[in-house]
């Protein structure tokens, strides 16, 4: 991990830490966020951030808590840890000069044509479960806390353009991405989505559809049981935190032409009450007779992934906050901030 990235995120985290201050260039102190430090003396600062050989560690001299800074940030930093992980991956991997880039090339040489779930083959990508533990795509998926049971249906690539051209010829970003296959109900790949690891990328997500398939871009169709309650999210990753989850790739999809029975479908949008487009979309699905989740006030996280990482039982919250008809309109009115 980079000394300078650690330094940056210690400073970002410092706003949450009581009586934080730097005592030297590579040493900082604060009151311990684990044990609370001294109960008698509120000025005690016995929690230390310190650097050794280019890496930061933390230690409390009251409760003896001790670990690396990345591990501490993972335990206490919430969404900040995701940003930290991605920034390290960007620095260590996407520049194309690191050892794990070469390691991934070696793995790809051994697995030139990975077999997907439907026995179709795509070159130049590897299932996340087959990637080395230190490889960037695997680390990214791990940092998002994606359940490991889905790691064999998510893939990594070094050059997304090489993968995308197997679906539809064109000019696409030539960067390292997570590759997310979309399957038909009969388990044929009809589209792929590429998710960039670069937080500053202008095209974080790009979805490519095979021109031979004229069906809406819905992720998770091959796993969907539409005879039971199912949950339709905005993005593929969010759909993996509930049972029987799917996702729409694009806001322009005609809800009347979805390729499954929507009688038991709950539409789940991001928790953005100030976003006029989301409020409009939620109102639209209610007007069409669908059920929708309206997030309760105690949930502050933006999406299902963030909620899961904050320790929230996403499916339980959705099931207890699903509305339709007039009830849905009333709840949306209370929820929205536009």
| pLDDT per position as a tens digit, 153-180 | 999 988 899 999 999 999 999 888 999 9
Shared domain for 82 and 196, answered yes or no, is yes
Task: Say whether both 89 and 202 belong to one domain.
Answer: yes
Residues 62 and 122 occupy one common structural domain: no
Q: Are residues 10 and 26 in the same domain?
A: yes
- Final residue in a domain of this structure, among 76, 95, 110: 76
Q: State mean pLDDT over 27-51.
A: 92
Confidence label for 104 from pLDDT (cuts 50, 70 and 90): low
More confident residue, 47 or 38: 47
Boundary residue ending a domain (27, 53, 76) = 76
Q: Is residue 220 part of a domain?
A: no
Residues ≥6 apart with Cβ < 8 Å to 72: 58
Chain mean pLDDT for the chain: 86
Residue 321, domain member (yes or no): yes
pLDDT for 135 equals: 74
Indicate which CATH number applies to the domain containing 164: 3.90.980
Which of the four pLDDT bands, split at 50, 70 and 90, describes residue 102?
A: low
Q: Are residues 72 and 116 in the same domain?
A: no
Q: What is the pLDDT at residue 111?
A: 46
Average pLDDT for 309-313: 93
Pairing of strands 245-248, 291-293: unpaired
Are the C-beta atoms of 266 and 291 separated by less than 8 Å?
yes
Those residues whose C-beta lies under 8 Å from the C-beta of residue 96, and which sit 6 or more positions away, are: none
Structural domain range at position 41: 3-76
pLDDT at 148 over 70: yes
> DSSP string spanning 277-322?
HHHHHHHHHHHTT-EEE---TT---SSHHHHHHTT--HHHHHHTTE
Q: What is the pLDDT of residue 101?
A: 54
- Same domain? For 195 and 300 the reply is no
Q: What is the mean pLDDT of residues 51-76?
A: 90
Burial class (CB in 10 A: 0-12, 13-18, 19+), 15: exposed
**Does position 90 have pLDDT exceeding 80, yes or no?**
no
Where do the H-state alpha helices sit in 183-258? 236-239
User: What integer pLDDT is reported at residue 118 of this predicted model?
Assistant: 47
- CB 270, CB 303: distance < 8 Å: yes
Contact 190, 213 (CB under 8 A): yes
Residue 85 shares a structural domain with residue 195: yes
Number of domains in the chain: 3
If asked whether residues 169 and 284 sit together in one domain, one would say no
| pLDDT tens per residue across span 282-298 | 999 999 999 999 999 99
* 27 in the same domain as 120: no
- pLDDT surpassing 50 at residue 1: no
Radius of gyration of the chain (CA): 23
- Which of 50, 76, 102 delimits the end of a domain? 76
User: Do residues 298 and 191 both lie within one domain?
Assistant: no
The reply to whether 210 and 93 lie within a common domain is yes
pLDDT digits (tens, 9 = 90+) for 5-31: 888 888 888 878 899 999 888 899 999
């Amino acid at each position: 991990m980079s000394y300078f990235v650690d330094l940056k995120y210690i400073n970002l985290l410092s706003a949450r830490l009581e009586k934080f201050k730097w005592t030297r260039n590579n040493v900082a102190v604060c009151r311990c966020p684990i044990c609370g430090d001294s109960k008698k003396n509120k000025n005690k600062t016995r929690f230390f951030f310190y650097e050794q050989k280019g890496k930061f560690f933390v230690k409390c001299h009251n409760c003896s808590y001790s670990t690396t800074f990345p591990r501490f940030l993972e335990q206490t930093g919430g969404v900040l840890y995701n940003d930290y992980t991605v920034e390290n991956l960007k620095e260590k991997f996407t520049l194309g000069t690191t050892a794990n880039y070469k390691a991934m090339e070696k793995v790809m040489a051994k697995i030139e044509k990975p077999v997907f779930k439907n026995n179709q083959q795509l070159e130049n990508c590897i299932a996340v479960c087959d990637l080395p533990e230190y490889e960037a795509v695997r680390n990214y998926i791990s940092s998002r806390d994606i359940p490991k049971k889905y790691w064999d249906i998510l893939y990594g690539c070094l050059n997304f353009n090489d993968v995308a051209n197997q679906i539809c010829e064109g000019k696409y970003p030539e960067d390292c991405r997570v590759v997310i296959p979309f399957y038909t109900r009969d388990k044929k790949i009809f589209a792929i989505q590429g998710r960039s690891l670069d937080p500053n990328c202008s095209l974080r997500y790009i979805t490519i559809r095979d021109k031979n398939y004229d069906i809406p871009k819905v992720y998770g169709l091959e796993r969907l049981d539409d005879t039971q309650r199912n949950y339709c999210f905005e993005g593929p990753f969010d759909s993996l935190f509930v049972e029987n989850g799917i996702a729409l790739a694009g806001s322009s999809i005609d809800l009347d032409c979805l390729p499954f029975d929507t009688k038991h479908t709950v539409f789940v949008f991001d928790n953005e009450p100030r976003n006029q487009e989301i409020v409009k979309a939620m109102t639209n699905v209610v007007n069409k007779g669908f059920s929708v989740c309206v997030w309760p006030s105690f949930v502050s996280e933006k999406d299902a992934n963030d909620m899961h990482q904050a320790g929230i039982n996403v499916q339980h919250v959705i099931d207890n906050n699903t509305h339709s008809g007039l009830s849905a309109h009333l709840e949306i009115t209370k929820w929205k901030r536009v």
